[in-house]
Every structure is written in structure tokens, then in C-alpha cells.
Amino acid sequence: MSALTFEQALSKLQRYCAYQERCHQEVRNKLIRIKVFGEDQDEVINALIAEGFLNEERYARTFVSGKSRIKRWGEVKILAQLRAKGISDYCIRKGMEEYEDALKLDNMRYWFVKWSDQYNNLEPFLFKDKILKMYISKGFRVEEVLSFLKSES
């Protein structure tokens, strides 16, 4: 192995994964930072999976739930972030089961109230343009936003 024994590396990564849900990519990056490479990485990751410390489906569910409820992100941004983390399509589908339409509408209302106060001095066209761009940056689909804005008008 490296400067660390298998047991030392495994113990470090068990604590790392117990603190919060992690994906395989985050664990690999941590292993690289502590100078564990190659087959040794795979052995540690396999042990973490076998012991239940590492589970990408569980990670995807937690990620989707947290980002939609706490950060109030839209579906597009959540999907993009999961793909960027190398999560499998199967795990992404399972994770997206946590994304609720009612929550999406609540999040859109939340952002509308917040941004309306901030941009209410703009002309109607500029206001709508600014709000649309803000929704897109938060990961909401354009057609959903336009439909929502119509209902709020």
C-alpha cells in the first residue's frame, strides 16, 4: 500500500463516509489525497461497499432530497450535478424519486417571492427576463417557469 496500511486507510474512510453520504468519486478523491492508489483504492472501496458505508443509490436519494429541500434547486441542476459526480443512470433515476412536484412548485414560489422583492423596480419585460434567467440558474426548466409565471401574473 502507501504510507498507510489497509486498515488505517479503511478506518479513515469509514469515518469520512459515516460523517455524511459520499459517492464513489468523492471517496476516490479522498483516497488520492491520502496517497492510496491503484488496486489498494479498489480494495478500500469494495470494503466500504460491503460494510454499508458507501452506497450510490442512497447517496443519490440523499443528494436529491437535500438539494431540492434545502438549496431549493430545480430538477435540471440536480441531474447535472449527479452526472458530474459520475453517478449511474440507475442511481440517478432512483434518487429522482425523491423529487416531488409539490416541492418544485413550493420552491418556485419561494424564489418568486424572494426575487420579486429584489427586482420589483424593473419594467415588466426586464423583470420577467431577469426572473427567467434566475430560475434557469437554479435548475428549473424554461417551459415550467413560463407556465408558473403565467399563473402568478
Per-residue model confidence as pLDDT tens digits over 101-139 = 899 999 999 999 999 889 889 998 999 999 999 999 999
Say if CB 42 and CB 83 are below 8 A apart.
Answer: no
Task: Judge whether residue 1 has pLDDT over 90.
Answer: no
Q: How far apart are CA 143 and CA 81, in angstroms?
A: 21
Question: What pTM was estimated for this model as a whole?
Answer: 0.91
Mean pLDDT of the residues in the chain:
94
pLDDT tens digits along 40-85? 999 999 999 999 999 999 999 999 999 999 999 999 999 999 999 9
Q: Would you give the distance in Å from CA 48 to the centre of its chain?
A: 21
Sign of CA pseudo-dihedral 37, 33, 88, 80: negative
